[in-house]
């Protein structure tokens, strides 16, 4: 559990910070896409072995990556809603998107890469 928190927090802080910074110079969707892709690569490589201590097959890692692609779609929907419909400030867009996508990411990682027991 501690390793999940450490890796998840590092990934979330790193990608959220990068998202916030990139959103100042790029459109929000592009900034989110860049940081999401980087976070996805990190999670698919690190989570199964380091976080859960499981020897996850590449098939399961692919499923995990697909879960994250679905979560990315949710994130794009949230950013669109917050920016285009609600005209929310950048900090609200970033934090609101992370508050929705982080729990979805945890659920997928636990189910697909968490091993058994």
Contact in structure between 113 and 48 (CB atoms under 8 Å): yes
pTM: 0.75
Task: Please tell me the predicted confidence (pLDDT) of residue 22.
Answer: 96
- How many other β-carbons are positioned within 10 Å of the β-carbon of residue 47? 27
Task: Please tell me the predicted confidence (pLDDT) of residue 117.
Answer: 41
Task: Please tell me the predicted confidence (pLDDT) of residue 77.
Answer: 95
Which pair of tokens denotes residue 105? Answer: 């990411």
Q: Taking the CA of residue 33 as centre, how many other CA atoms within 13 Å lie in the half-sphere pointing to its CB?
A: 7
Contact in structure between 36 and 77 (CB atoms under 8 Å): no
Task: Please tell me the predicted confidence (pLDDT) of residue 9.
Answer: 86
Closest alpha carbon to 44 in 115, 110, 109: 109
Q: How many domains does the chain have?
A: 1
Q: Domain of 46? A: 2-113
DSSP state of 54: -
Q: pLDDT 10s per residue in the chain (117 long)?
A: 678 778 888 888 999 899 999 999 999 989 989 998 998 888 888 888 887 788 888 888 899 889 989 999 999 999 999 999 999 999 999 999 989 998 898 888 888 887 654
Residues for the chain: how many in total? 117
């Amino acid at each position: 559990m501690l390793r999940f928190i450490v890796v998840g927090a590092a990934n979330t802080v790193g990608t959220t910070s990068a998202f916030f910074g990139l959103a100042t110079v790029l459109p929000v969707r592009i900034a989110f896409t860049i940081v999401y892709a980087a976070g996805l690569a990190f999670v698919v490589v690190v989570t199964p072995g380091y976080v859960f201590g499981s020897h996850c097959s590449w098939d399961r890692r692919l499923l995990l990556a697909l879960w994250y692609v679905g979560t990315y779609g949710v994130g794009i929907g949230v950013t669109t809603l917050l920016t285009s419909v609600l005209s929310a400030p950048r900090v609200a867009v970033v934090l609101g998107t992370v508050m929705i996508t982080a729990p979805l990411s945890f659920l997928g990682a636990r189910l697909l890469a968490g091993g058994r027991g």
